Amino acid sequence: MIVTATAVVCAVGVLLTPGTALAAPAEPDPAQDRRLEELHRRIEGLYRKATSATDDYNAAREKTAEQRKKLDRIEKRATAAGERMTELRAQAGAMARAHYRGGGMPDTMRLLLEGGSEDFLHDADVARKGQQAQRDLIAGLAATQRRLDGYAESADEELSRLRTQQKKRATAKKEIEARIAAAEKLESRLQAEELERLRELEAEEARKAQAEWLESGVLDEIDARASARGRKAIAYATRQLGKDYEWGAEGPRTFDCSGLTSQAWAAADRPIPRTSQEQWKRLTRVRIADMRPGDLIVYHSDASHVGMYVGRGEIVHAPRPGRQITLAGAGSMRILGVVRPDPGEDGPAEKGGDGPGKP
């Protein structure tokens, strides 16, 4: 023990001796950085493809829900038509039995043989009404049968569409899971130090992109204020900060990117499409220079990512699997364009975008 303690003291003494050089922090290894940057591109590419497939999954899930509702409506109408058909058939059966009891003789002939002349005109009118009722009954049976046939055909078509969407959803789910698993496998091969450096490189890349975006002077032109609904949407979105990203999720515990933006605007009483691609297609586009807090910034050429602009050059967004909802530079990714969920409030918005990422 004495020898060990002495050795430790001597070692410490050497380290603390004036003039002794302390080991400097290791400088980044350019070769390692190049390898990690390439790995980062591969990982981000896999997550991008998973995000795109998530939009496909969400769209298929929405259409599946819509088609199920249509099938339910068709089934209710078919049930009502079936009940009407049963009622009409019962009436037809009663008429057939009455006709049989009358010996199959036409009503007018039976009246001539059985009734007196003073009652003939009255009874003949009743007979004509009976014949009209028979014709109406037959027409009603035919029309109801046509409706039933139409409902059956519509149900078959909707069921076929439903099955198609279910297959699309299943295919998208497999692709999402495969891409995420591949990305996680690549990350799992890294040591803790390499993972930390990879995070640093990601942050550096985002900072650089954001700096270039800000240097364009875009914030000098953006001075619009959020609408009343926009403020509600921002409040909802920012309350979710720190929650995990989960593909296909729309709260309340986890979200994907468009799940966050769609739920935020739903909370502001302004329902918008569920997916980032549909948000890009169907919402009103505005110039970046006219952007205001609450607007949605859509990213990448395939509109596979979306975030909500909150002002000061920042967005709130759900980045990707393995990350949490956070604030980020609005220009830290490639901007496709900006859309506005509430163009009619606090001034009109312009139709059409202004090109990818330029103010």
Catalytic sites, residue numbers: 257, 305, 317
In angstroms, what CA-CA distances link 66 with 40, 134, 340?
39, 41, 25
Torsion of the alpha carbons at 104, 108, 113 and 114, rounded to the nearest 10: 90
Can you tell me the distance from the alpha carbon of 33 to that of 40, in angstroms, rounded to the nearest whole number? Answer: 10
Can you tell me the distance from the alpha carbon of 141 to that of 89, in angstroms, rounded to the nearest whole number? Answer: 7
277, 302 contact by CB (below 8 A):
yes
Pair type for strands 335-340 and 296-299 = antiparallel
- State the distance between the two ends of the chain, measured CA to CA, in whole angstroms: 72
Among candidates 198, 193, 186, which has minimal Cα distance to 36?
A: 198
SS3 string, 162-200, reads HHHHHHHHHHHHHHHHHHHHHHHHHHHCCCHHHHHHHHH
Query: Tokens 């909150």 label which residue?
Result: 310
Can you tell me the distance from the alpha carbon of 205 to that of 60, in angstroms, rounded to the nearest whole number? Answer: 34
Long-range contacts of range 11-20, CB-CB < 8 Å, 24 or more positions apart? none
Can you tell me the distance from the alpha carbon of 115 to that of 118, in angstroms, rounded to the nearest whole number? Answer: 8
Q: Which residues contact 301 (CB under 8 A, 6 or more apart)?
A: 334, 336, 356
Element (H, E) at 317: strand 314-317
